[in-house]
Homo-oligomer: A and B are copies of this chain.
Amino acid sequence: MQFVKDFKWNKGMKASQLVEGFRSLGYQSIELSKASDIFMKMKHDNAKIFLTFTSNMVTSGLRGFFAQLIRKGMADVIVTTVGGIEEDIMKSAGEKFRVGRFTDDDVELHEHGINRVGNILITNESYMRFEDMMGPILKKLYQKKKRWPISEMLKEIGLMLDDDDSILCQAAKKKVPIFCPAITDGAFGFHLYLFQKKHPDFIIDVVSDFGNILLSTSQDERKAIIALGGGISKHHAILCTLLNGGANYAVYMTTARSTSGSLSGATTDEAKSWGKVKDESDVATVIGDVTITFPLAMIAALEKLDEEGLLDG
Q: Could you list which residues of chain A lie within 8 angstroms of chain B, going by C-beta atoms?
A: 1-9, 11-18, 21-32, 54-57, 59-65, 67-68, 81, 83, 91, 96-99, 102-104, 106-107, 109-110, 114-120, 165, 181-186, 189-190, 192-193, 196-197, 202-211, 214, 229-232, 235-236, 239, 243, 255-266, 269-275, 279, 287-293, 295-296, 298-299, 302-303, 306
Contacts and interface: CB of A to CB of B under 8 A. Distances in A.
B255 A260 contact: yes
A291 B114 contact: no
How many copies of this chain does the complex contain?
4
B4 A97 contact: yes
A23 to B, nearest CB: 8
A247 to B, nearest CB: 13
A12 B83 CA distance: 33
B14 A106 contact: no
A106 to B, nearest CB: 4
A28 B190 contact: no
A287 B119 CA distance: 13
A119 B204 contact: no
24 contacts: A4-B60, A5-B61, A15-B17, A18-B295, A21-B61, A26-B61, A26-B261, A27-B260, A27-B289, A29-B60, A54-B263, A56-B262, A110-B273, A116-B270, A117-B266, A117-B270, A118-B270, A181-B182, A189-B206, A193-B214, A197-B211, A203-B207, A256-B256, A260-B287
Given A56-B260, A110-B273, 13 more contacts: A4-B98, A6-B91, A9-B65, A12-B303, A21-B61, A26-B59, A27-B291, A28-B292, A102-B259, A106-B273, A118-B259, A118-B262, A296-B296
